[in-house]
Amino acid sequence: MNILELLKKHEKTKNIKIYLGKEVIEDPYEKNVSIELQNPITIQGFVYNISPESIKWKYEGLIPYGSKTIICDKSYINLFKLAEKIEIDDEVYTTFVNAEKGFEIIERQDYIVVTLSKKP
């Protein structure tokens, strides 16, 4: 039994709403583009806070306090890469992107670990 199945069995998962975006051209002459959010896709995942020590040492203060980490099914990896907005308990997040490595998504055999940064 993997860790994700164990968390689901003990009902430790939360609903996570993932909003994908679509670019809309507002003015074709000036090339103004806005993002239109689509209907949310709700998934289940285990959510926990990133500790202040981890923000200071591991992420070198790059992500704001209140950021979270999610453990969820591996099939959602592309959703997190395309997400414009991620909502957990009425708070808004985005997938953390490191300038050197790209997305902060760790792939394991049966699940993924995704780092989310809080949107101001």
Distances (CA, A) of 76 to 38, 61, 73, 105: 17, 27, 6, 11
Query: What is the per-residue pLDDT for 15?
Result: 92
CB 21 within 8 A of CB 84: yes
Q: What is the pTM of this model?
A: 0.79
Q: Is the pLDDT of residue 3 over 90?
A: no
Give the span between the Cα atoms of 70 and 86, in whole angstroms: 11
Domain total in the chain: 1
Query: What is the per-residue pLDDT for 68?
Result: 87
Q: Which domain holds residue 86?
A: 3-118
CB 18 within 8 A of CB 83: yes
pLDDT tens per residue, range 60-72: 556 667 788 898 8
- Provide the pLDDT confidence category of residue 40 given band limits of 50, 70 and 90: very high
The CATH number of residue 57's host domain is: 2.40.10.270
